[in-house]
Amino acid sequence: MKKRLLLIGFALAGMLAGCQDVLVHELSPDQRAQQKDSVWTVRIEAFKGEGAGTKGLDIGDGGLDNTTVLRSIWKENEPVLVYLGADSIGTLTASPDPSDAHKATLSGTVTTSGITAGTTTLTLRTPRNEWDYTGQVGLLLNSNDGNHPGAANRSIENKYHYTLAENVLVTDVSNGTITTENASFANQQSIYRINFRFQHNGAGHVYDITAKRIWITAADGGLVQSVAPNGASTTGTIDVILDDARTDPFFVALRNNNTTADEDLKFKVMDNDGVTYYGAKTVPAAYKAGTFVSMKNTRLTGRLELSVSSETVSTAL
């Protein structure tokens, strides 16, 4: 009886093994890997152009106030977000090329399924999940906001200068690793360096404005406040509140949905005494997408002379 049971057991084991072998061979190696484990190792060679920089900014000669160029560079461990369609599937980190900081290797893991070599494309973006231009304080570099380290840093370098590599083709999927073609990142906004002067009605004496708060709008209303995962944008006024009133230039990242025509940027500026100035400056179409634009000494010609005052109020009961 024991011998018969053993024979039956061996027969069942052989049948099950045979079924498993058939099932395995119905799937490709890539499909088996995806069903077994949806966490993938990724390695991508990435490049940034020579235009206005991304999360890493390198300032040319002349310092912040006078440089004519911002160079794109990768920084060690710079985060790069990976998307499959509108879904965020992981974060890679950058290892810059020691001889050329415009180049880097991006590596890390993503969690997903449905990856097919030769068909699937990925989108890569820096520097954060939220694509939002609101809350700017006029600071360009991380070091300009030393009291707010890490993620709390409010500089353009840390929060507001987005770059994108779209349609990065997956070229190989095997052994738990995804390989893609090289990724080229493009700037998604321009960086403006601005300070203001006032000349009443465009004539007479000209003097510096000590700016504290600046409202910026585009003539056709296309300045972007935020971008949704599906690419839809919310547009409106960009409100910049400087930590300290200044006559020196400040910096702001502006994305404009209209990049094909010259257009006025409209400014409303409140100084440290509460006096409000207004005016506009034309921006050529060529400077509206992914460039560094210097608008030093932008001249405003209107003024609303209502100053801020403090009063003590007594209530009679």
- Write the pLDDT tens digit of every residue in 158-191: 999 899 999 999 999 998 999 999 999 988 999 9
In this structure, are residues 191 and 67 in contact, taking their beta carbons and an 8 Å threshold? no
At residue 311, the pLDDT reads 61
Tokens representing 18?
A: 């045979």
At residue 51, the pLDDT reads 41
The residue written with tokens 């992914």 in the block is 290
Mean pLDDT of 246-267: 96
Q: Read off the pLDDT band of 314 (50, 70, 90).
A: low
Per-chain mean pLDDT for the chain: 84
Is residue 226 within a helix (H) or strand (E), and if so which, with residue range?
strand 224-227
pLDDT at 151 over 50: yes
Q: Read off the pLDDT band of 61 (50, 70, 90).
A: confident
* % of the chain surpassing 90 pLDDT: 64
Q: Tell me the residue type at 174.
A: S
The residue written with tokens 């050529």 in the block is 284
At residue 49, the pLDDT reads 61
Q: Which residue has the higher pLDDT, 94 or 54?
A: 94
CA-based nearest residue to 211, from 259, 301, 276 = 276
CA 102 to CA 98: how far, in whole Å? Answer: 10
Tokens representing 269?
A: 């500026």
CA angle, 46 then 50 then 54, to 5°? 65
- Count other Cβ atoms within 10 Å, centred on residue 11: 10
In this structure, are residues 174 and 29 in contact, taking their beta carbons and an 8 Å threshold? yes
* pTM for this entry: 0.81
CA 93 to CA 106: how far, in whole Å? Answer: 5
Cα Rg of the chain, angstroms: 28
Count CA within 13 A, CB hemisphere, residue 106. 32
At residue 23, the pLDDT reads 33
CA 218 to CA 236: how far, in whole Å? Answer: 8
Q: Read off the pLDDT band of 56 (50, 70, 90).
A: low
Q: Which residue has the higher pLDDT, 83 or 26?
A: 83
